[in-house]
Structure 1
Amino acid sequence: MFADRPFGSIRPLDIERFQRQFSSPYSHNDGLRHVSALFNWAIRMQLVDMRNPCSPIRARKVVRRRRDYSTEQIRQIAAHIFYPAFEAEPDTGSLEGLAKRDMALVKGRVTTANDQMQELCNFMGILFLTMARPSDLAKAEFGHFDLEKLVWRKHNTKGIKLSRSIYELPYRSVPIHARVAGMVQAQPLRWPESKLIFPSHTDAALPRDNFRKGLDRFKALPGVPEYFQLYDLKRIAISLMLTAQGVSHEAVSHYVDHKGNLGTTMIYDLHLVDPLRPVTEKLGSLLGI
């Protein structure tokens, strides 16, 4: 659109005209962010002497779809994760011939599905109890965990990568629950030759890219909504800890790698309704009703 224009001649009205091509607020804001970053880089490198023409342009307001979780749904999700129910494996001992062969194939599929579900539950259980990002856990190695002291030294986290501090430590240490240690210890039995806790099935040197099949089966379980995502485990855990659990909000912010930035931590709050019921009940008692 502006290929023949000098870089320094671009004005806010030009940026506004450029942004009109985006009908979606997501695309509009994403495009504005990239263009603004381009001009910021050029100004910082002193390629042009001007103000960023994107500064007067406002991002569009985005109304996100709420993913509400009731207390009962959270309990059911936690039960499915920490106490998974597996499909019974068929018995092939009393069969012969083709019937035994066919049943052995069925047994193999059931065994594989159960193993995939167990590994997915280990992955989700660690996410739930550590409030970690799925990407952080996918790249985690066995050597990053001190299972005796119950400590996870989180390397290459998003918080470290986005930090603007001049000096940064190579990892950030957080305490872990004893149940997490048990889940971590179970993984080397599946992948004895990999240093990653959750390696790819095709290449044990690479991190797992998805749990699509297992996650589809998990969403079919009772009480799990169809909009459930792995990242929701982090949001649910943070939301629970932010609702009067006796833990300071600053501690939660540091634990989830936000370095005490409550503004960032509150973005993850799902605004759970049920934990707030004592507020209205207390108000009612004070009013004598």
Structure 2
Amino acid sequence: MRNREKLSEKLVRAAETRPRPWQVFDTEVVGLSICIYPSGSRSFMFDYRVAGRQRRFTIGRWPEWSVTAARDRAKVLRRDVDSGQDPMAEREDAREAPRFPDLVERYLREHAAHLAPRNAADQESMLRKLIEPHWKHRLVSEIEPADVERVLNLIAQGRSRPAKKKTKAKRAKPLAPPKPTPIRANRAGEMLRKVFNLAIAWKMRADNPALGFRRRMEVERELFLSMDEIARLGDALAAAEDQRAAAIIRICMLTGARVGEVRTARFEHFDLEREIWTKPAANTKQRRIHRVPISLDTVALVRTRLGAVPAGCDWLFPGDVEGKDQPVQELRRFWRCIQMQAELPDVRIHDLRHTFASLLVSGGASLEMIGKLLGHSQSRTTQRYAHLMDSPLRAGVDAVADLVRARPRLVHSASPAEMQEPMPEQAHAAGARSG
């Protein structure tokens, strides 16, 4: 039989403790009770029945919750139950609602796993290091556009890179001041837009807070090597001790391919008789097969590599780790040495791709041809080279100007006597004026 009394502060304070939890129910609000635990703590409860199930809702602890406040809360809950709602179900749904780390795990597992390995690793790094620390315990449904803008602002400001661990003999370098990274913020915003689009599809929320994120201004890097710089780079590659890495750079220069495409190339991808390189979808950024013609110099490089690698090796540039069937991985150290020797400190390997395109333009190639050779999936990507076409256009305009330019008339010098005599036209004009 239930203990029923009108709850008061005096009753709650004086209620005795027992070996097992016990309740005193309020006579004023049906279902409201105070539960006394063996430890002496006390909490207000609300018992109700919905759909044939007995439920118990914890209102709060006493004395943080007074009897009056608990009774008012119980009245609200009673009205909700009478209208068909289940307060416990709402609390359970909120407790089980997905949080941002749950969304990140599912995104990486079901979406990022199908991206290119480098792209997937980059997105995981942004989510884990730049975004998740700020939203670690947030519900997916609670994240607002202001939260997205706030975290993108922090990413755009940049962050200091931690110094590498040094031995006792070497002192650790101090942290360099953070450099602004607006492009990184834009990439993070694009990724978050996709993340929340999938959250909508997975019924985690109803809208996308990253849909209209503010894009930072991007200034695309455009660096093209001059003929003198190309010659210096060629001399440095010829003198390099590591001719395997030098051959990778040469193929990048000759084909405009990305360094990852060259590094992961296999001999079976090349048709040397027809001078064709067929890049598999797994090796290209656009995830599509890319078939391009190659020059005789590139064919010669492939034939040279065929004689340099061990028998039975399929990689054009096999790695250094014995027993592992993988291509070469590290080129940064080699490229730094080449930069110093060729006096090209600001040139990246990817700038060789831009240089390849600029040479095509100077040779009269159309943007469509350049896009096909470079493997661009969107024409707007190729449009960045449109301004380079001004040179051949300007040459054509100058040629037309030479044809239509007015030619100067040759006038013979006159004697002093001839200069004193009026010309017939002048005499006629003078007579007309006098008449």
Q: Contact 2:186–2:216 (CA<8 Å) still a contact in 1?
A: yes
Q: What aligned pairs does 1:1-289 form with structure 2 within 5 A after superposition?
A: 1-3=134-136, 5-22=138-155, 23=157, 24=180, 25-50=182-207, 52-63=208-219, 67-78=223-234, 80-81=236-237, 84=238, 86=239, 114=241, 116=242, 118-155=243-280, 156-161=282-287, 171-193=289-311, 194-203=313-322, 205-222=325-342, 224-243=343-362, 245-259=363-377, 261-267=378-384, 269=385, 276=391, 279=394, 282-283=397-398, 286=401
- What amino acid maps onto 2:344 in structure 1? P
Deviation digits for residues 16-62 of structure 1, max 9, x if unmatched? 23333231313422332332221011123343322x21122211113
Q: Percent identity?
A: 23
- What amino acid maps onto 1:218 in structure 2? I
- What amino acid maps onto 2:141 in structure 1? G
- Unpaired runs of at least 5, structure 2: 1-133, 158-179, 407-435
Q: CA deviation at 1:248?
A: 2.2
Local SS of the residue matching 1:173: strand
- What amino acid maps onto 1:40 in structure 2? N
Matched residues in 2 for 1:120 and 1:271: separation? 33
Matched residues in 1 for 2:290 and 2:339: separation? 32
Matched residues in 1 for 2:395 and 2:293: separation? 35
Q: CA deviation at 1:277?
A: 8.2
Matched residues in 2 for 1:254 and 1:19: separation? 35
- What amino acid maps onto 2:196 in structure 1? F
CA distance 1:58–1:213, shift in 2 (3 Å):
closer
Q: Contact 1:147–1:181 (CA<8 Å) still a contact in 2?
A: yes
Q: Contact 2:224–2:351 (CA<8 Å) still a contact in 1?
A: no
Local SS of the residue matching 2:314: coil
Deviation digits for residues 231-263 of structure 1, max 9, x if unmatched? 1111100122134x232211221121114x321
RMSD across aligned positions (CA)? 3.1
- What amino acid maps onto 1:70 in structure 2? S
- What amino acid maps onto 1:202 in structure 2? V
Matched residues in 2 for 1:134 and 1:198: separation? 12
Q: CA deviation at 1:139?
A: 0.8
- What amino acid maps onto 1:157 in structure 2? N
Q: Contact 1:142–1:197 (CA<8 Å) still a contact in 2?
A: yes
Larger radius of gyration: 2
Q: Contact 1:70–1:272 (CA<8 Å) still a contact in 2?
A: no
Deviation digits for residues 164-183 of structure 1, max 9, x if unmatched? xxxxxxx3321111111110
Matched residues in 2 for 1:34 and 1:5: separation? 18
Local SS of the residue matching 1:174: strand
- What amino acid maps onto 2:295 in structure 1? H
- Unpaired runs of at least 5, structure 1: 87-112, 164-170
- What amino acid maps onto 1:60 in structure 2? R
Matched residues in 2 for 1:13 and 1:80: separation? 51
Matched residues in 2 for 1:195 and 1:130: separation? 21
Please state which structure has a larger fraction of its residues in strand: 2
- What amino acid maps onto 1:264 in structure 2? T
- What amino acid maps onto 2:262 in structure 1? L
Q: Contact 1:69–1:272 (CA<8 Å) still a contact in 2?
A: no
Deviation digits for residues 265-286 of structure 1, max 9, x if unmatched? 234x49669x838727955983
CA distance 1:30–1:180, shift in 2 (3 Å):
same
Q: Contact 2:256–2:356 (CA<8 Å) still a contact in 1?
A: yes
Which residue number corresponds to residue 99 of structure 1? none
CA distance 1:228–1:2, shift in 2 (3 Å):
closer
Q: Contact 1:127–1:233 (CA<8 Å) still a contact in 2?
A: yes
Q: Contact 1:139–1:196 (CA<8 Å) still a contact in 2?
A: yes
State the TM-score, normalizing by the size of structure 2.
Answer: 0.49
CA distance 1:3–1:184, shift in 2 (3 Å):
closer
Q: Contact 2:364–2:392 (CA<8 Å) still a contact in 1?
A: no
CA distance 1:78–1:238, shift in 2 (3 Å):
farther
CA distance 1:279–1:59, shift in 2 (3 Å):
same
Q: CA deviation at 1:209?
A: 1.2
Local SS of the residue matching 1:152: strand
Which residue number corresponds to residue 102 of structure 2? none
